[in-house]
């Protein structure tokens, strides 16, 4: 398809999807809040899905992220925090929210971003709200990203950080939490911990996890048009950068294929308007079949990583997590 026809196809699809969103907003109260519908519309208008789908624009995004990621980690800009926040450089660069020796739980948060982007403003706003509501410390590591790095570099840094943290506190008080690509990394990391004979974190919380690098589930096609943010082929291309020379079916990259029986206290949040939905449900079935304590919350009519956005549904998730963490 040439550039002119490609752009026409994209604009037509956007117009159709916006029309669907407006009709759903008119039926507001049926399945989701008005603010959620408006947020989904703004996600579509951002054009990120179109950037992923277009090879030239996608490559420009990769190069932009490459340059940004080479800059030293800095404190988040344009975010007003209501909890203490600071930059820490040991054992690796990270941002620490609400550092407090009296806090009951420590959340290690692996931010998503298609394996190429550092945390965005929305991540920091969500984590600030969560830290305050749950009265928890949150550590956000600046783990290595593509295209300068692949998953092996990230695994090594995360393992060093994990050992450093559980040398200082009970491993049961550590919560590994993540979204999207970060959730795939977190899941594979926990499966790998079990294979190395290392202890599991007290809880694993996954938001819209990317569990199969190749997104090969045939059911995904049924959700592709509903997903206003992610493009299947574009993500596959970025996944190849993350995999490097390793087979993308490797469980460290696609934890949907890995051993799940040693995982502990897994919570999953997933929307029905996203391409990650079929694999999240399949993974839930695998966890339950293995006897793992699992709770999967399905956001009806909700979009990718919806708990991260400032919408009523997110506030519900945050309060729910605060109650769960209080019982940790």
Average pLDDT over residues 154-166: 97
The Cα–Cα gap between 12 and 321 comes to 39
Instruction: Give the lowest-confidence range in 29-33, 68-72, 202-206.
Output: 29-33
pLDDT value of residue 238: 98
pLDDT in tens, 237-281: 999 999 999 999 999 999 999 999 999 999 999 999 999 999 999
Q: Could you tell me if 211 and 184 are in contact, meaning their C-beta atoms sit under 8 angstroms apart? A: yes
Distance between CA atoms of 81 and 8, rounded to whole angstroms? 42
Q: Is a pLDDT exceeding 80 seen at residue 176?
A: yes
Sorting pLDDT into bands at 50, 70 and 90, what band is 77? confident
- CA 152, CA 241: separation in Å to the nearest integer? 12
The secondary structure of residue 27, as a DSSP letter, is: T
pLDDT, one tens digit per residue, over 265-322 is 999 999 999 999 999 999 999 999 999 999 999 999 999 999 999 999 999 999 999 9
Handedness of CA 241, 87, 163, 182 (dihedral sign): negative
Count the neighbouring beta carbons within 10 Å of the beta carbon of residue 185.
26
Confidence band of 25 (pLDDT split at 50, 70, 90): very low
Residue 41 has pLDDT above 60, yes or no: yes
pLDDT tens, position by position, 101-119? 688 899 999 999 999 999 9
Facing residues of 266 across strands?
204, 294
Could you tell me which residue, 43 or 90, shows the higher pLDDT?
43
Instruction: Measure the CA–CA gap between 147 and 182, rounded to whole angstroms.
Output: 15
Closest to 296 measured CA to CA, from 276, 323, 269 = 269
Strand 174-179 relative to strand 106-110, pairing: parallel
What count of Cα atoms within 13 Å lies in the side-chain half-sphere of residue 313?
Answer: 26
Task: Inform me whether the pLDDT recorded for 186 exceeds 60.
Answer: yes
C-alpha radius of gyration, the chain, whole number? 19
Strand 137-141 vs strand 94-97: parallel, antiparallel, or unpaired? antiparallel
List, in order, residues 6 or more apart from 267 with CB less than 8 Å away: 203, 204, 205, 206, 294, 295, 296, 297, 321, 324
Going by C-beta distance under 8 Å and a sequence separation of 6 or more, which residues neighbour residue 12?
A: none
Distances (CA, A) of 186 to 125, 211, 279: 21, 10, 16
pTM of the model: 0.91
Question: What would the pLDDT profile of 6-20 be if each residue is shown by its tens digit?
Answer: 444 433 444 455 445
Question: Quick one: average pLDDT of 72-77?
Answer: 93
DSSP E strands, the chain: 85-88, 94-97, 106-110, 137-141, 174-179, 203-207, 266-271, 294-299
Segment 32-41 mean pLDDT: 96
328 pLDDT band, cuts 50/70/90, is confident
Distance CA 307, CA 305 (A): 6
Alpha carbon distance 130, 124 (integer Å): 10
CA–CA distance, 242 with 79 (Å, rounded to integer)? 29
Please, what is the average pLDDT of the chain?
92
Q: Are 226 and 254 in contact (CB under 8 A)?
A: no
């Amino acid at each position: 398809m040439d550039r002119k026809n490609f752009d026409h196809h994209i604009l037509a699809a956007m117009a159709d999807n916006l029309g669907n969103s407006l009709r759903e907003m008119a039926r507001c109260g049926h399945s989701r809040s008005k603010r959620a519908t408006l947020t989904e519309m703004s996600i579509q208008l951002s054009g990120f899905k179109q950037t992923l789908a277009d090879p030239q624009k996608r490559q420009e995004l990769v190069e932009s992220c490459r340059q940004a990621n080479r800059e030293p980690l800095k404190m988040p800009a344009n975010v007003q925090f209501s909890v203490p926040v600071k930059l820490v450089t040991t054992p690796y660069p990270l941002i620490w929210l609400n550092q407090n020796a009296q806090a009951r739980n420590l959340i290690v948060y692996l931010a998503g971003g298609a394996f190429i982007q550092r945390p965005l403003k929305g991540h920091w706003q969500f984590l600030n709200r969560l830290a305050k509501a749950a009265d928890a410390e949150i550590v956000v590591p600046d783990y290595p990203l593509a295209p300068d790095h692949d998953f092996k570099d990230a695994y090594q840094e995360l393992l060093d950080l994990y050992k450093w943290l559980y040398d200082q506190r009970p491993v049961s008080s550590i919560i590994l939490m993540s979204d999207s690509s970060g959730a795939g990394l977190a899941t594979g990391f926990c499966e790998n911990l079990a294979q190395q004979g290392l202890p599991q974190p007290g809880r694993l919380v996954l938001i819209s996890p990317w569990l199969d690098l190749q997104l090969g589930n045939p059911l995904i096609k049924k959700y592709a048009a509903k997903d206003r943010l992610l493009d299947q082929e574009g993500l596959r291309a970025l996944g190849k950068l993350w995999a490097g020379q390793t087979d993308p079916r490797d469980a460290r990259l696609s934890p949907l294929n890995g051993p799940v029986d040693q995982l502990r206290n897994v919570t999953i949040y997933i929307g029905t308007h996203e391409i990650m939905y079929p694999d999240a449900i399949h993974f839930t079935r695998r966890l339950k079949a293995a006897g793992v304590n699992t709770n999967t919350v399905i956001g009806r009519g909700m979009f990718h990583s919806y708990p991260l956005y400032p919408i009523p549904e997110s506030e519900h998730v945050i309060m729910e997590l605060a109650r769960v963490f209080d019982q940790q």
